[in-house]
Structure 1
């Protein structure tokens, strides 16, 4: 089951990050580059670092210059995230290249990789909500509210995991087919962002 594998790798990545809990620590991907787990670990590591970037930039006392530098890092992280999603979809395109879709096969609203993207973010929500539900210096009311939210997130992970496995099974059986569109982000492109290409004139 791909979702079970993904959830395990995501949890490993989050745990590895929080050993040092620093956005500046380099990734130490434990999986060989030719393994699917390598992509999953990389995907979640990017998400985890960006999660903490987003925390830092919301500091009301942050220096404006530091905030701008951090905004640039978040932009770069978003591009990396999109790139890895496309690598994951390429993996599944290759894996199911031999499958001939049924004549009545349908396309899904999102590709498998974007569903894994949501599962990765969900793993981070679960980790941090659990921290809040167990935070010793928080009030009992705070912990109880966070536990309620954590229960919902855990149920959501079960549902999303099932949906992902069902989608991949449907693709393998020809009931659904993959069609991947590149994201074509414009704001990072010197030729497509008006601010950037006008600055070159």
Structure 2
């Protein structure tokens, strides 16, 4: 089996994300791939989980009834989750790099995309969350016809964007594993969470 055949299709990955969002809203979060933490599916699921947690922390941060102390706590939680989310994007990209290397794919002279496959998978994760919550709003009691139509219009747009991005990512992955396009991991190198690089942290000592 080639590396491209071993890598799950984008359709499989987006189904994993969509199913996970629905399941996590019904029951406690679990990772169905806990026995294979290095698989692409496991990494995508773990990265998706951080986006799920981030989404709900962001909602809490905007509550009019939240106290200053609660907002400060949420802000710190958001920082940690966002760092973990970005770390997982890099892990997904690193896993793709490893699969390409093990397959002996040579693409050193091929063009490079501005966005990595891991970053595109992250965007699809956020889109799965957005679609779930828009559909939730469309079904909410008490919503008037004008607001419901506004939500339905946005759902249609999100579905189109999700389909476009899914197709583009599949084409990119096909090209990467065929050697027609280079794949690289672009390091986020966030400075704000590094005590040695954030002046607001090291300057307070």
TM-score (norm 1): 0.92
Superimposed CA distance per residue, residues 71-100 of structure 1 (whole angstroms, 9 cap, x where no aligned partner): 000000001001111110011001111210
Counterpart in 1 of 2:74?
Answer: 70
Q: What is the correspondence of 1:156-171 to structure 2 with a 5 Å cutoff?
A: 156-171=161-176
Counterpart in 1 of 2:160?
Answer: 155
Distance apart, 1:12 and its partner CA: 2.0
5+ unaligned residues in a row in structure 1: which ranges? none
Match for residue 144 of structure 2 among 139, 143, 161: 139
Distance apart, 1:102 and its partner CA: 6.2
TM-score (norm 2): 0.90
Q: Is the 8 Å Cα contact of residues 171 and 177 (structure 1) preserved in structure 2? A: yes
Match for residue 101 of structure 1 among 107, 124, 128: 107
* CA-atom RMSD in angstroms: 1.4
Superimposed CA distance per residue, residues 46-74 of structure 1 (whole angstroms, 9 cap, x where no aligned partner): 11111010011101221101110110000
Matched, 1:46 2:53: no
Give the distance between the partners of 1:53 and 1:29, measured in 2 at CA: 20
Which secondary structure state, in structure 1, belongs to the residue aligned with residue 203 of structure 2? helix
Give the distance between the partners of 2:191 and 2:38, measured in 1 at CA: 30
Matched, 1:12 2:19: yes
5+ unaligned residues in a row in structure 2: which ranges? 1-7
Q: Is the 8 Å Cα contact of residues 17 and 45 (structure 1) preserved in structure 2? A: no
Relative CO higher for 1 or 2, CA cutoff 8 Å, sep ≥ 6?
2
Give the distance between the partners of 1:7 and 1:163, measured in 2 at CA: 13
